[in-house]
Amino acid sequence: MSIGFGTMAMIGGGALAAVGLIPIAVGFGSAGVVAGSLAAATQSSIGAVTAGSAFATMTSLGMTGVFSALAGAGSALAGAGAALAALL
């Protein structure tokens, strides 16, 4: 059984969407770290966040919309793949 292009697009799109959705779910939002989230608890436990650290980078990526863009692009790709798979 071979996997078609539509199925590959659905799998790839789902993976890309997950790359964007997981950090959002953890609490790296567009307005910064979300109060009460896992990211907020982590920030509280590490104290002062050093510029250039992994935590600071994740916060920056969330605030600049990178995670939202990845989630949206992945969802669109998965949807297009599903449509293509249904047509072929």
What pLDDT shows up at residue 1?
56
Let me know: does 61 contact 19? Beta carbons within 8 Å: no
DSSP 3-state of 56: helix
- Contacts of residue 19, Cβ cutoff 8 Å, sequence gap at least 6: 67, 70, 74
Q: Which has more pLDDT, 47 or 14?
A: 14
Tokens of 75: 């969802």
Average pLDDT, the chain: 94
Does residue 31 carry a pLDDT above 70?
Answer: yes
Q: How many CB atoms lie within 10 A of CB 86?
A: 8
Does residue 50 carry a pLDDT above 70?
Answer: yes
